[in-house]
Structure 1
Amino acid sequence: MNAYLHRSTERGHVKMGWLDTKHSFSFGSWYNPKYMGVGPLRVINDDTIAAHNGFGTHPHDNMEILTCVLDGTISHKDSMGNEQHIPAGEWQLMSAGTGVQHSEYNNGDNPVHMLQIWIQPNVQNAEPAYQQIKRDPKDTPNEWQLIVGPNENAPMHIRQNAEVKAAFLQKDHELPIKATQKFNYVHLISGKIQIGDIAIEAGDALLFDDVTTVKALEDSQFIWFDLDK
Protein backbone atom coordinates (compact mmCIF):
# COMPACT_ATOMS: atom_id res chain seq x y z
CA MET A 1 0.00 0.00 0.00
CA ASN A 2 1.35 3.41 -0.99
CA ALA A 3 0.47 5.92 1.72
CA TYR A 4 1.21 9.41 2.99
CA LEU A 5 0.49 10.28 6.62
CA HIS A 6 -0.53 13.86 7.39
CA ARG A 7 -0.02 14.37 11.12
CA SER A 8 -2.30 16.63 13.14
CA THR A 9 0.76 18.54 14.35
CA GLU A 10 1.47 19.56 10.72
CA ARG A 11 -1.85 21.34 10.39
CA GLY A 12 -1.96 25.12 10.46
CA HIS A 13 -3.21 26.45 13.80
CA VAL A 14 -4.80 29.89 13.90
CA LYS A 15 -6.35 31.35 17.05
CA MET A 16 -7.97 34.76 16.95
CA GLY A 17 -10.31 35.66 19.75
CA TRP A 18 -13.55 33.73 19.30
CA LEU A 19 -12.18 31.30 16.67
CA ASP A 20 -9.71 28.49 17.27
CA THR A 21 -9.10 26.62 14.02
CA LYS A 22 -6.79 24.01 12.55
CA HIS A 23 -6.27 23.90 8.78
CA SER A 24 -5.43 20.61 7.07
CA PHE A 25 -4.68 22.53 3.86
CA SER A 26 -3.47 26.05 3.11
CA PHE A 27 -6.18 28.53 3.99
CA GLY A 28 -6.38 32.23 4.76
CA SER A 29 -3.28 33.49 6.52
CA TRP A 30 -1.78 30.00 6.84
CA TYR A 31 0.09 28.77 3.78
CA ASN A 32 2.17 25.64 3.29
CA PRO A 33 2.94 24.54 -0.30
CA LYS A 34 3.06 20.90 0.89
CA TYR A 35 -0.61 21.04 1.82
CA MET A 36 -2.74 22.43 -0.98
CA GLY A 37 -5.45 19.76 -1.04
CA VAL A 38 -6.10 16.28 -2.41
CA GLY A 39 -7.67 16.16 -5.85
CA PRO A 40 -10.79 18.37 -5.63
CA LEU A 41 -10.68 18.37 -1.81
CA ARG A 42 -9.42 21.85 -0.99
CA VAL A 43 -10.26 22.61 2.66
CA ILE A 44 -10.72 20.80 5.96
CA ASN A 45 -10.96 23.38 8.73
CA ASP A 46 -11.41 22.07 12.27
CA ASP A 47 -13.20 25.03 13.89
CA THR A 48 -14.10 25.77 17.51
CA ILE A 49 -16.34 28.84 17.72
CA ALA A 50 -16.85 30.58 21.05
CA ALA A 51 -20.33 31.21 22.45
CA HIS A 52 -22.28 34.12 20.92
CA ASN A 53 -19.81 34.57 18.06
CA GLY A 54 -19.42 33.47 14.47
CA PHE A 55 -18.75 34.28 10.85
CA GLY A 56 -20.55 37.37 9.58
CA THR A 57 -22.14 37.50 6.14
CA HIS A 58 -19.56 36.72 3.45
CA PRO A 59 -19.63 35.47 -0.16
CA HIS A 60 -18.69 32.18 -1.87
CA ASP A 61 -18.95 30.95 -5.44
CA ASN A 62 -18.15 27.74 -7.33
CA MET A 63 -17.44 25.65 -4.26
CA GLU A 64 -19.18 22.71 -2.59
CA ILE A 65 -19.10 23.55 1.15
CA LEU A 66 -19.83 20.69 3.54
CA THR A 67 -20.32 21.38 7.25
CA CYS A 68 -20.15 18.64 9.89
CA VAL A 69 -21.21 19.75 13.38
CA LEU A 70 -19.60 17.69 16.15
CA ASP A 71 -20.64 19.61 19.28
CA GLY A 72 -23.19 22.37 19.79
CA THR A 73 -25.43 24.01 17.20
CA ILE A 74 -24.47 26.45 14.44
CA SER A 75 -27.06 28.81 12.96
CA HIS A 76 -26.96 29.39 9.20
CA LYS A 77 -28.52 32.18 7.15
CA ASP A 78 -27.98 32.75 3.43
CA SER A 79 -29.02 34.82 0.44
CA MET A 80 -31.08 31.90 -0.92
CA GLY A 81 -33.52 32.50 1.93
CA ASN A 82 -32.42 29.61 4.14
CA GLU A 83 -32.37 30.10 7.91
CA GLN A 84 -31.45 26.83 9.60
CA HIS A 85 -29.98 25.45 12.81
CA ILE A 86 -27.45 22.63 12.39
CA PRO A 87 -26.99 20.67 15.62
CA ALA A 88 -24.36 18.03 16.35
CA GLY A 89 -24.99 14.92 14.28
CA GLU A 90 -26.26 16.87 11.27
CA TRP A 91 -24.54 17.85 8.02
CA GLN A 92 -25.07 20.72 5.63
CA LEU A 93 -24.01 20.99 1.99
CA MET A 94 -24.11 24.42 0.40
CA SER A 95 -23.40 24.44 -3.32
CA ALA A 96 -22.30 28.03 -3.90
CA GLY A 97 -22.53 27.93 -7.70
CA THR A 98 -22.89 31.38 -9.28
CA GLY A 99 -22.61 32.98 -5.88
CA VAL A 100 -24.18 33.01 -2.43
CA GLN A 101 -23.73 35.01 0.75
CA HIS A 102 -24.13 33.39 4.14
CA SER A 103 -23.36 33.70 7.84
CA GLU A 104 -22.70 31.08 10.51
CA TYR A 105 -23.21 31.97 14.14
CA ASN A 106 -23.04 30.25 17.50
CA ASN A 107 -26.04 31.55 19.43
CA GLY A 108 -25.49 29.13 22.30
CA ASP A 109 -23.72 29.48 25.63
CA ASN A 110 -21.10 26.82 24.86
CA PRO A 111 -18.50 26.49 22.07
CA VAL A 112 -19.42 24.88 18.74
CA HIS A 113 -17.00 22.33 17.29
CA MET A 114 -17.39 21.63 13.60
CA LEU A 115 -15.55 20.72 10.42
CA GLN A 116 -15.83 22.92 7.34
CA ILE A 117 -14.94 21.03 4.16
CA TRP A 118 -14.60 22.56 0.70
CA ILE A 119 -14.65 20.47 -2.46
CA GLN A 120 -14.17 22.05 -5.87
CA PRO A 121 -17.12 21.29 -8.19
CA ASN A 122 -16.87 19.79 -11.67
CA VAL A 123 -19.66 22.10 -12.88
CA GLN A 124 -19.06 25.85 -12.92
CA ASN A 125 -21.62 28.60 -12.38
CA ALA A 126 -24.53 26.33 -11.54
CA GLU A 127 -27.54 27.54 -9.56
CA PRO A 128 -26.79 27.71 -5.83
CA ALA A 129 -28.38 24.97 -3.69
CA TYR A 130 -28.80 24.05 -0.03
CA GLN A 131 -29.12 20.58 1.53
CA GLN A 132 -29.14 19.36 5.14
CA ILE A 133 -29.45 15.89 6.70
CA LYS A 134 -29.24 14.19 10.08
CA ARG A 135 -26.64 11.43 9.81
CA ASP A 136 -24.81 10.71 13.07
CA PRO A 137 -22.50 7.69 12.70
CA LYS A 138 -22.69 7.11 16.46
CA ASP A 139 -26.33 6.08 15.96
CA THR A 140 -25.24 3.16 13.74
CA PRO A 141 -21.70 2.20 14.81
CA ASN A 142 -19.37 -0.07 12.85
CA GLU A 143 -20.73 0.73 9.40
CA TRP A 144 -20.16 3.34 6.72
CA GLN A 145 -22.69 6.14 6.41
CA LEU A 146 -22.81 7.81 2.99
CA ILE A 147 -23.08 11.58 3.45
CA VAL A 148 -22.70 12.98 -0.08
CA GLY A 149 -22.29 11.45 -3.51
CA PRO A 150 -22.40 12.34 -7.20
CA ASN A 151 -25.71 10.59 -7.85
CA GLU A 152 -29.13 12.09 -7.21
CA ASN A 153 -30.03 9.16 -4.93
CA ALA A 154 -27.24 10.04 -2.46
CA PRO A 155 -28.43 11.60 0.83
CA MET A 156 -26.96 14.88 -0.42
CA HIS A 157 -25.94 15.42 -4.04
CA ILE A 158 -22.52 16.96 -4.64
CA ARG A 159 -21.39 18.50 -7.93
CA GLN A 160 -18.24 16.41 -8.12
CA ASN A 161 -17.29 12.81 -8.84
CA ALA A 162 -16.75 12.14 -5.14
CA GLU A 163 -18.24 10.38 -2.16
CA VAL A 164 -17.89 11.35 1.47
CA LYS A 165 -18.60 8.67 4.07
CA ALA A 166 -18.47 8.79 7.87
CA ALA A 167 -18.16 6.09 10.51
CA PHE A 168 -18.00 5.55 14.25
CA LEU A 169 -15.98 2.40 14.81
CA GLN A 170 -15.90 0.73 18.19
CA LYS A 171 -12.65 -0.66 19.56
CA ASP A 172 -11.35 -3.79 17.75
CA HIS A 173 -13.96 -3.53 14.97
CA GLU A 174 -12.94 -3.20 11.31
CA LEU A 175 -14.39 -1.72 8.13
CA PRO A 176 -13.29 -2.33 4.52
CA ILE A 177 -12.13 0.46 2.24
CA LYS A 178 -12.41 -0.01 -1.51
CA ALA A 179 -11.95 3.14 -3.54
CA THR A 180 -14.03 3.80 -6.62
CA GLN A 181 -11.97 6.84 -7.63
CA LYS A 182 -8.31 7.89 -7.70
CA PHE A 183 -7.74 9.11 -4.12
CA ASN A 184 -8.53 7.65 -0.68
CA TYR A 185 -8.22 10.18 2.13
CA VAL A 186 -9.27 9.36 5.69
CA HIS A 187 -9.45 12.13 8.31
CA LEU A 188 -9.65 10.96 11.92
CA ILE A 189 -11.86 13.14 14.14
CA SER A 190 -11.38 11.28 17.41
CA GLY A 191 -9.88 8.07 18.74
CA LYS A 192 -7.12 5.96 17.21
CA ILE A 193 -7.24 3.70 14.16
CA GLN A 194 -4.95 1.57 12.02
CA ILE A 195 -4.99 1.45 8.22
CA GLY A 196 -2.69 -1.26 6.90
CA ASP A 197 0.24 -1.10 9.31
CA ILE A 198 -0.07 2.66 9.95
CA ALA A 199 -1.42 3.93 13.27
CA ILE A 200 -3.43 7.16 13.01
CA GLU A 201 -4.32 9.46 15.90
CA ALA A 202 -6.97 12.17 16.31
CA GLY A 203 -6.46 15.00 13.84
CA ASP A 204 -4.24 12.89 11.56
CA ALA A 205 -5.19 11.97 8.01
CA LEU A 206 -3.94 9.32 5.60
CA LEU A 207 -3.77 9.47 1.81
CA PHE A 208 -3.43 5.99 0.34
CA ASP A 209 -4.26 3.64 -2.48
CA ASP A 210 -5.23 -0.02 -2.67
CA VAL A 211 -8.00 -2.01 -0.99
CA THR A 212 -7.54 -2.29 2.74
CA THR A 213 -9.34 -2.12 6.09
CA VAL A 214 -9.68 0.35 8.94
CA LYS A 215 -9.32 -1.11 12.42
CA ALA A 216 -10.26 0.80 15.56
CA LEU A 217 -7.57 0.69 18.26
CA GLU A 218 -10.06 2.57 20.45
CA ASP A 219 -13.54 3.98 19.84
CA SER A 220 -13.04 6.29 16.84
CA GLN A 221 -14.91 8.64 14.52
CA PHE A 222 -13.62 9.47 11.04
CA ILE A 223 -14.47 10.60 7.52
CA TRP A 224 -13.46 8.87 4.28
CA PHE A 225 -13.14 10.90 1.08
CA ASP A 226 -13.30 8.84 -2.13
CA LEU A 227 -12.11 11.37 -4.69
CA ASP A 228 -11.53 11.73 -8.41
CA LYS A 229 -8.33 13.34 -9.67
Structure 2
Amino acid sequence: MIELRPYDSLGGADHGWLDAKHHFSFSGYRDPERMGWGALRVWNDDTIQANTGFPPHSHADMEIITYVRDGAITHQDNLGNRGRTEAGDVQVMSAGTGIQHAEYNLESGTTRIFQIWIIPDQRGGAPTWGSKPFPKGDRAGHFVTLASGIEGDEDTLPIRADARVLGLTLAAGESAEYVFGDDRYGYLVPAKGSVEVNGVRLQARDGAAIRNEGAIRVVAIDDAELVLVDTAP
Protein backbone atom coordinates (compact mmCIF):
# COMPACT_ATOMS: atom_id res chain seq x y z
CA MET A 1 0.00 0.00 0.00
CA ILE A 2 1.24 3.45 -0.94
CA GLU A 3 -0.99 6.31 0.13
CA LEU A 4 -0.29 9.57 -1.68
CA ARG A 5 -0.49 12.65 0.55
CA PRO A 6 -0.31 15.68 -1.74
CA TYR A 7 1.46 18.78 -0.48
CA ASP A 8 -1.73 20.80 -0.90
CA SER A 9 -3.51 18.46 1.55
CA LEU A 10 -1.07 19.11 4.40
CA GLY A 11 -1.97 21.12 7.47
CA GLY A 12 0.06 24.07 8.66
CA ALA A 13 0.21 27.79 9.16
CA ASP A 14 2.09 30.81 7.80
CA HIS A 15 3.50 32.83 10.70
CA GLY A 16 5.34 35.32 8.52
CA TRP A 17 8.84 34.40 9.64
CA LEU A 18 7.89 30.70 9.40
CA ASP A 19 5.73 28.97 6.80
CA ALA A 20 5.13 25.48 8.23
CA LYS A 21 3.45 22.52 6.57
CA HIS A 22 2.67 19.39 8.62
CA HIS A 23 2.46 15.86 7.20
CA PHE A 24 1.09 14.75 10.59
CA SER A 25 -0.91 16.41 13.37
CA PHE A 26 1.23 19.08 15.02
CA SER A 27 0.66 22.22 17.08
CA GLY A 28 -2.67 23.76 16.01
CA TYR A 29 -3.22 21.27 13.19
CA ARG A 30 -4.99 18.06 14.15
CA ASP A 31 -6.18 15.27 11.89
CA PRO A 32 -7.07 11.99 13.66
CA GLU A 33 -6.17 10.11 10.47
CA ARG A 34 -2.67 11.59 10.48
CA MET A 35 -1.31 11.11 14.00
CA GLY A 36 1.88 9.34 12.90
CA TRP A 37 3.17 6.46 10.81
CA GLY A 38 4.75 3.65 12.81
CA ALA A 39 7.20 5.32 15.20
CA LEU A 40 7.34 8.39 12.92
CA ARG A 41 5.44 11.11 14.74
CA VAL A 42 6.24 14.41 12.98
CA TRP A 43 7.35 15.48 9.52
CA ASN A 44 7.31 19.25 9.17
CA ASP A 45 8.18 21.11 5.98
CA ASP A 46 9.46 24.46 7.29
CA THR A 47 10.42 27.60 5.38
CA ILE A 48 12.30 30.02 7.67
CA GLN A 49 12.97 33.62 6.69
CA ALA A 50 16.43 35.18 6.99
CA ASN A 51 17.61 36.23 10.47
CA THR A 52 14.70 34.55 12.24
CA GLY A 53 14.14 31.19 13.86
CA PHE A 54 12.88 29.14 16.77
CA PRO A 55 13.79 30.73 20.13
CA PRO A 56 14.89 28.55 23.08
CA HIS A 57 12.35 25.85 23.94
CA SER A 58 12.42 22.39 25.48
CA HIS A 59 11.84 18.79 24.38
CA ALA A 60 12.07 15.37 26.04
CA ASP A 61 11.84 11.75 24.87
CA MET A 62 11.98 12.37 21.12
CA GLU A 63 14.51 11.80 18.33
CA ILE A 64 14.54 14.98 16.24
CA ILE A 65 16.22 14.88 12.85
CA THR A 66 16.68 18.04 10.78
CA TYR A 67 17.37 17.70 7.06
CA VAL A 68 18.41 21.01 5.53
CA ARG A 69 17.07 21.47 1.99
CA ASP A 70 18.20 25.04 1.29
CA GLY A 71 20.26 27.53 3.25
CA ALA A 72 21.54 26.58 6.69
CA ILE A 73 20.34 26.23 10.28
CA THR A 74 22.34 27.22 13.37
CA HIS A 75 21.75 25.20 16.52
CA GLN A 76 22.52 26.06 20.14
CA ASP A 77 21.44 24.30 23.33
CA ASN A 78 21.83 24.31 27.10
CA LEU A 79 24.46 21.56 26.90
CA GLY A 80 26.85 24.01 25.26
CA ASN A 81 26.49 22.61 21.74
CA ARG A 82 26.53 25.02 18.84
CA GLY A 83 26.74 24.20 15.14
CA ARG A 84 25.71 25.25 11.64
CA THR A 85 24.19 22.63 9.33
CA GLU A 86 24.14 23.41 5.59
CA ALA A 87 21.90 22.31 2.72
CA GLY A 88 22.01 18.55 2.15
CA ASP A 89 23.41 17.86 5.60
CA VAL A 90 21.70 16.55 8.73
CA GLN A 91 21.58 17.19 12.46
CA VAL A 92 20.14 14.90 15.13
CA MET A 93 19.00 15.73 18.65
CA SER A 94 18.13 12.95 21.10
CA ALA A 95 16.07 14.88 23.63
CA GLY A 96 16.21 12.15 26.28
CA THR A 97 15.46 13.40 29.78
CA GLY A 98 15.19 16.96 28.47
CA ILE A 99 17.05 19.57 26.44
CA GLN A 100 16.50 23.25 25.73
CA HIS A 101 17.56 24.39 22.28
CA ALA A 102 17.15 27.12 19.66
CA GLU A 103 17.32 26.86 15.87
CA TYR A 104 18.04 30.02 13.87
CA ASN A 105 18.41 30.95 10.23
CA LEU A 106 21.32 33.38 10.49
CA GLU A 107 21.78 33.42 6.71
CA SER A 108 21.00 36.28 4.31
CA GLY A 109 18.46 34.13 2.44
CA THR A 110 15.63 31.70 3.15
CA THR A 111 16.29 28.35 4.82
CA ARG A 112 14.12 25.31 4.13
CA ILE A 113 14.18 22.18 6.27
CA PHE A 114 12.43 18.90 6.89
CA GLN A 115 12.01 18.41 10.64
CA ILE A 116 11.41 14.74 11.44
CA TRP A 117 10.48 13.38 14.89
CA ILE A 118 10.70 9.68 15.73
CA ILE A 119 9.52 8.16 19.02
CA PRO A 120 12.49 6.53 20.81
CA ASP A 121 12.47 2.89 21.81
CA GLN A 122 12.89 3.85 25.48
CA ARG A 123 12.25 6.94 27.52
CA GLY A 124 15.02 8.84 29.27
CA GLY A 125 18.73 8.84 28.70
CA ALA A 126 21.14 11.75 28.54
CA PRO A 127 20.29 14.28 25.82
CA THR A 128 22.72 14.57 22.90
CA TRP A 129 23.18 16.56 19.67
CA GLY A 130 25.26 15.94 16.56
CA SER A 131 25.63 17.08 12.96
CA LYS A 132 27.22 15.46 9.91
CA PRO A 133 27.81 16.42 6.26
CA PHE A 134 26.40 14.09 3.60
CA PRO A 135 27.61 15.16 0.12
CA LYS A 136 24.79 14.72 -2.37
CA GLY A 137 27.17 13.12 -4.85
CA ASP A 138 27.70 10.22 -2.46
CA ARG A 139 24.01 9.29 -2.65
CA ALA A 140 23.57 9.72 -6.38
CA GLY A 141 21.65 6.71 -7.68
CA HIS A 142 21.34 4.84 -4.39
CA PHE A 143 19.89 5.31 -0.91
CA VAL A 144 22.38 6.35 1.78
CA THR A 145 21.57 6.07 5.48
CA LEU A 146 21.83 9.46 7.17
CA ALA A 147 20.65 8.61 10.70
CA SER A 148 19.91 5.24 12.24
CA GLY A 149 19.32 3.27 15.39
CA ILE A 150 19.56 -0.08 13.59
CA GLU A 151 22.48 -2.35 14.43
CA GLY A 152 25.01 -2.63 11.63
CA ASP A 153 24.37 0.78 10.10
CA GLU A 154 27.71 2.60 9.98
CA ASP A 155 28.87 6.17 9.29
CA THR A 156 25.48 7.58 10.25
CA LEU A 157 24.19 9.89 12.93
CA PRO A 158 22.91 7.73 15.80
CA ILE A 159 19.30 7.79 16.96
CA ARG A 160 17.65 5.80 19.77
CA ALA A 161 14.91 4.18 17.70
CA ASP A 162 14.43 1.14 15.49
CA ALA A 163 14.43 3.37 12.44
CA ARG A 164 16.62 4.85 9.77
CA VAL A 165 16.50 8.08 7.77
CA LEU A 166 17.85 7.82 4.21
CA GLY A 167 18.70 10.22 1.41
CA LEU A 168 18.77 9.73 -2.36
CA THR A 169 19.44 11.84 -5.43
CA LEU A 170 18.45 10.78 -8.94
CA ALA A 171 18.92 12.33 -12.35
CA ALA A 172 15.87 12.34 -14.60
CA GLY A 173 15.23 8.83 -15.88
CA GLU A 174 17.33 7.11 -13.21
CA SER A 175 15.89 4.70 -10.66
CA ALA A 176 16.81 3.16 -7.31
CA GLU A 177 15.35 0.45 -5.10
CA TYR A 178 14.96 0.03 -1.36
CA VAL A 179 14.00 -3.21 0.40
CA PHE A 180 11.99 -3.07 3.62
CA GLY A 181 12.16 -5.66 6.38
CA ASP A 182 9.05 -7.43 7.61
CA ASP A 183 6.33 -5.32 9.23
CA ARG A 184 7.97 -1.96 8.51
CA TYR A 185 6.51 1.46 7.81
CA GLY A 186 7.99 3.83 5.22
CA TYR A 187 7.41 7.50 4.57
CA LEU A 188 9.00 9.17 1.55
CA VAL A 189 9.06 12.83 0.50
CA PRO A 190 10.80 14.33 -2.55
CA ALA A 191 12.57 17.49 -1.43
CA LYS A 192 12.92 18.42 -5.09
CA GLY A 193 11.71 16.97 -8.38
CA SER A 194 8.94 14.54 -9.25
CA VAL A 195 9.18 10.75 -9.04
CA GLU A 196 7.17 7.55 -9.31
CA VAL A 197 7.23 5.13 -6.38
CA ASN A 198 5.99 1.68 -7.45
CA GLY A 199 3.97 3.49 -10.09
CA VAL A 200 2.53 6.17 -7.76
CA ARG A 201 3.54 9.65 -8.92
CA LEU A 202 4.74 12.24 -6.40
CA GLN A 203 5.51 15.89 -6.95
CA ALA A 204 8.04 17.79 -4.88
CA ARG A 205 7.08 17.86 -1.17
CA ASP A 206 4.23 15.34 -1.53
CA GLY A 207 4.29 12.48 0.99
CA ALA A 208 4.02 8.75 0.34
CA ALA A 209 2.92 6.59 3.30
CA ILE A 210 4.20 3.07 2.59
CA ARG A 211 2.98 -0.12 4.25
CA ASN A 212 3.09 -3.83 3.33
CA GLU A 213 5.47 -3.20 0.44
CA GLY A 214 8.46 -5.54 0.44
CA ALA A 215 10.41 -3.10 -1.69
CA ILE A 216 10.00 0.17 -3.54
CA ARG A 217 11.40 1.25 -6.88
CA VAL A 218 11.78 5.00 -7.28
CA VAL A 219 11.97 6.40 -10.82
CA ALA A 220 12.87 10.06 -11.32
CA ILE A 221 10.69 12.03 -13.71
CA ASP A 222 12.88 15.10 -13.15
CA ASP A 223 16.17 15.47 -11.32
CA ALA A 224 15.13 14.61 -7.77
CA GLU A 225 16.29 14.70 -4.15
CA LEU A 226 14.41 12.45 -1.69
CA VAL A 227 14.24 11.60 1.99
CA LEU A 228 12.87 8.27 3.26
CA VAL A 229 12.12 7.12 6.81
CA ASP A 230 11.97 3.36 7.49
CA THR A 231 10.61 2.62 10.94
CA ALA A 232 9.20 -0.08 13.18
CA PRO A 233 5.46 -0.02 13.99
Q: TM-score range by the shorter chain?
A: over 0.9
Q: Does structure 2 retain, via aligned residues, the 8 Å contact 1:54–1:105?
A: yes
Q: Does structure 2 retain, via aligned residues, the 8 Å contact 1:86–1:92?
A: yes
Q: 2:175 maps to what in 1? A: 174
Instruction: Name the CA distance, whole Å, in 2 between partners of 1:154 and 1:28.
Output: 33
Q: Give me the TM-score of the superposition, normalised by structure 1.
A: 0.95
Deviation >2 Å, runs of 4+: 136-140, 151-154
Q: CA deviation at 1:138?
A: 4.3
The correspondence for 1:201, drawn from 200, 203, 207, is: 203
Structure 1 counterpart of 2:13, one-letter code: V
User: Match of 1:110, SS?
Assistant: coil
Moved more, 92-101 or 172-181: 172-181
User: Match of 1:218, SS?
Assistant: coil
Q: CA deviation at 1:22?
A: 0.7
Task: Report the CA distance shift for 1:191/1:20 in structure 2 as closer, same or farther (over 3 A).
Answer: same
Q: 1:116 maps to what in 2? A: 115
Instruction: Name the CA distance, whole Å, in 1 between partners of 2:137 and 2:22.
Output: 25
The 5 Å alignment of 1:22-37 reads 22-37=21-36
Q: CA deviation at 1:136?
A: 3.3
Instruction: Name the CA distance, whole Å, in 2 between partners of 1:31 and 1:55.
Output: 21
Instruction: Name the CA distance, whole Å, in 1 between partners of 2:33 and 2:135.
Output: 32
Q: How many positions carry a matched residue from both structures?
A: 228
The 5 Å alignment of 1:7-22 reads 7-22=6-21
Q: CA deviation at 1:210?
A: 2.4
Q: Does structure 2 retain, via aligned residues, the 8 Å contact 1:3–1:207?
A: yes
Task: Report the CA distance shift for 1:212/1:188 in structure 2 as closer, same or farther (over 3 A).
Answer: same
Structure 1 counterpart of 2:187, one-letter code: Y
Q: CA deviation at 1:127?
A: 0.8
Q: Does structure 2 retain, via aligned residues, the 8 Å contact 1:180–1:226?
A: no
Moved more, 36-45 or 132-141: 132-141
Q: CA deviation at 1:13?
A: 2.8
Q: 2:192 maps to what in 1? A: 190
Q: 2:135 maps to what in 1? A: 136
Q: Give me the TM-score of the superposition, normalised by structure 2.
A: 0.93
Q: CA deviation at 1:184?
A: 2.0
In the alignment, is residue 227 of structure 1 matched against residue 231 of structure 2? Answer: yes
Instruction: Name the CA distance, whole Å, in 2 between partners of 1:138 and 1:10.
Output: 32
Q: CA deviation at 1:139?
A: 4.9
Q: Does structure 1 retain, via aligned residues, the 8 Å contact 2:143–2:178?
A: no
Moved more, 179-188 or 48-57: 179-188
Which 5+ residue runs of structure 1 have no aligned equivalent? Answer: none
